[in-house]
């Protein structure tokens, strides 16, 4: 006869090994994927922008000089490629195109300035996965530095600067005087073998770096800055792109530092190109209105296999966000976020399915996003207002919910889940969980007046415990007295020992009229 207890131990061992091996595999892949930037090719041909009549006085418009230089360098694309050298100076220009097998090199104290004349930013067709401009129907202004259908493109230098001078665009946007969607600072479309490194990007009119329909993209050692009140100045937005590495970056903007996207509603669903295999490492930054790392809300083509680690966000609105909406469709799955430090962040983790903007009225309200297999662990925060905020969709499900969450917050309010029925009980790897945090519920929260809340975050053995003892099948358990609290803590600790994982329990007392505190 098979001993069920021994079988459960064997299953736990297998799951732990699989989870550990999966983490190792991702780590190895991240290392190899990001190292490619270290071996940038030396171009056999090089010219300076001054050879084509450019003047670096910050006043002379040099669009023609950039266009002519790149047209000339295109003749070397089959001869090992070429480098366009931009020396120290302030080089005013409108939008210009890159070519394959090109290195755009900005020397120290070189600044490429975006023109303040909207006519210098041509209008192009909307992206097929969006169906229209993000902000307005119709086309969109082309980015300052633009390229499409390219191979082997490097934008780098000795910490030179690309300044979009976006304040005029922000003012036009706020006054609602624009006819087309604002331009990005750098956009590469349907390209492969892209490296962006060792530069500073300032004041983008809209998103700063936007690789869309791209593969094998590396962004390393860049600084991205925009005023904290500048509208929608996202830092780096991989969009329907795969095999992207972002590391060693500092970003301070008015919106998301990094936002992973894949198209908008029915257009993204039909285009069906996901963002996948995204590596983010050693990211530092802050914002006022967005998130440190966001997925969505335009994620209709799907987002998967995202690995982010060693993140530091300070004095920001939100640290980690997954944002979706009814009509988005698509999926967000296999997300791994590890080793996060937060200081002065309003909301640490937010899952929000109520982002309502749609490209038009033809979206399918029954196209519901699938959220599954999300791992967020080793998060340490100080002065965090809200640990977590979960907003679901009526009738939809967070499949598998949050796996293996390990977060510790000091001076923090509790999790505020909404539509708890949307948290699925199905768990594929139940033993990944390393820390279970018990938070108090603040007086006045709907449906809970006193006591504490256990947000067990999908630890499978707890479900049987919950079903048998409290008869509540969800992962949120209300405990109205210290006897239940003590029993729950003891049970959780026992589960932790049996599952060979560490269970941490933290209890705060938030309600002024709650005098009974056993010390748990």
Q: Which residues are catalytic?
A: 255
Dihedral in degrees, nearest 10, Cα atoms 316, 321, 323, 329: 160
DSSP class of 503: -
Nearest in space to 33 (alpha carbons), one of 303, 258, 246: 246
- Find residue 335's DSSP bridge partners: 306, 374
Specify whether the CB–CB gap between 191 and 167 falls below 8 A: no
Bond from prior residue into 297 cis (ω within 30 degrees of 0): yes
Q: What is the rounded CA–CA span in Å between residue 160 and residue 88?
A: 8
Q: What is the rounded CA–CA span in Å between residue 91 and residue 88?
A: 9
Nearest in space to 91 (alpha carbons), one of 62, 50, 118, 116: 62
Instruction: Output the DSSP codes for 236-263.
Output: B--BS-EEEEEEEEEEEESS-SEEEB-B
Question: At 26, which helix (H) or strand (E)?
Answer: helix 4-35
Q: What is the rounded CA–CA span in Å between residue 448 and residue 333?
A: 31
Distances (CA, A) of 462 to 7, 38, 83, 376, 425: 18, 47, 60, 19, 11
Q: Are strands 407-410 and 386-391 parallel, antiparallel or unpaired?
A: unpaired
- Distance from the Cα of residue 297 to its chain's centroid: 10
Distances (CA, A) of 182 to 96, 148, 287, 290, 495: 16, 18, 20, 18, 53
| Residue 38 backbone dihedrals phi, psi, to 5 degrees | -70, -15
What's the alpha-carbon Rg for the chain, to the nearest Å?
Answer: 25
309 CB-near residues (< 8 Å, 6+ apart): 280, 281, 336, 337, 338, 339
């Amino acid at each position: 006869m098979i001993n069920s207890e021994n079988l459960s131990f064997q299953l736990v061992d297998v799951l732990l090994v699989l989870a550990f091996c999966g983490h190792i595999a991702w780590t190895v892949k991240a290392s190899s994927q990001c190292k490619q930037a270290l071996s940038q090719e030396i171009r056999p041909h090089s010219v300076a922008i001054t050879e084509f009549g450019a003047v670096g006085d910050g006043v002379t418009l040099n669009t023609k000089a950039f266009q002519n230089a790149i047209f000339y360098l295109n003749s070397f694309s089959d001869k090992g490629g070429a480098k366009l050298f931009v020396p120290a100076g302030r080089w005013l220009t409108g939008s210009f195109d890159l070519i394959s097998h090109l290195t755009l090199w900005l020397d120290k104290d070189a600044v490429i300035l975006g023109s303040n004349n909207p006519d210098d930013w041509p209008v192009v067709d909307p992206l097929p996965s969006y169906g229209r401009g993000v902000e307005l129907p119709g086309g969109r202004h082309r980015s300052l530095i633009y390229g499409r259908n390219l191979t082997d493109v490097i934008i780098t230098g000795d910490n030179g600067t690309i300044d979009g001078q976006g304040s005029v665009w922000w003012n036009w946007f706020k006054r609602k005087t624009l006819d087309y969607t604002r331009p990005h600072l750098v956009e590469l479309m349907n390209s492969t073998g892209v490296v962006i490194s060792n530069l500073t990007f300032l004041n983008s009119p809209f998103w700063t770096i936007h690789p869309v329909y791209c593969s094998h993209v590396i962004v390393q050692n860049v600084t991205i800055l925009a005023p904290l009140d500048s509208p929608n100045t996202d830092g780096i937005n991989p969009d329907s792109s795969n095999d992207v590495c972002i590391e060693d970056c500092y970003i301070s903007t008015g919106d998301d530092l990094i936002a992973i996207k894949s198209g908008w509603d029915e257009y993204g669903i039909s285009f069906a190109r996901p963002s996948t295999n995204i590596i983010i490492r050693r990211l530092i930054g802050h914002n006022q209105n967005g998130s440190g790392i966001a997925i969505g809300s335009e994620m209709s083509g799907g987002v998967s296999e995202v690995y982010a680690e060693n993140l530091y966000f300070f004095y920001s609105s939100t640290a980690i966000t997954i944002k979706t909406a009814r009509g988005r469709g698509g999926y967000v799955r296999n997300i791994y976020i590890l080793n996060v430090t937060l200081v002065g962040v309003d909301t640490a983790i937010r899952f929000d399915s109520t982002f309502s903007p749609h490209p038009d009225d033809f979206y399918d309200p029954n196209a519901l996003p699938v959220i599954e297999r999300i791992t967020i662990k080793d998060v340490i925060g100080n002065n965090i207002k809200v640990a977590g905020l979960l907003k679901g969709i009526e009738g939809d499900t967070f499949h598998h919910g949050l796996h293996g969450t390990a977060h510790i917050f000091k001076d923090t309010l509790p999790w505020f889940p909404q539509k708890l029925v949307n948290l699925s009980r199905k768990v594929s790897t139940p033993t990944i969980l390393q820390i279970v945090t018990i938070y108090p519920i603040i007086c006045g929260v709907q449906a809970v007046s006193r006591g504490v809340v256990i947000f067990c975050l999908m630890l499978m053995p707890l479900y049987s415990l919950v079903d048998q003892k409290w008869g509540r099948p969800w992962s949120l358990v209300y405990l109205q007295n210290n006897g239940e609290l003590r029993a729950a803590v003891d049970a959780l600790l026992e589960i932790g020992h049996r599952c060979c994982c560490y269970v941490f329990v933290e209890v705060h007392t938030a309600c002024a009229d709650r005098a009974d505190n056993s010390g748990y």
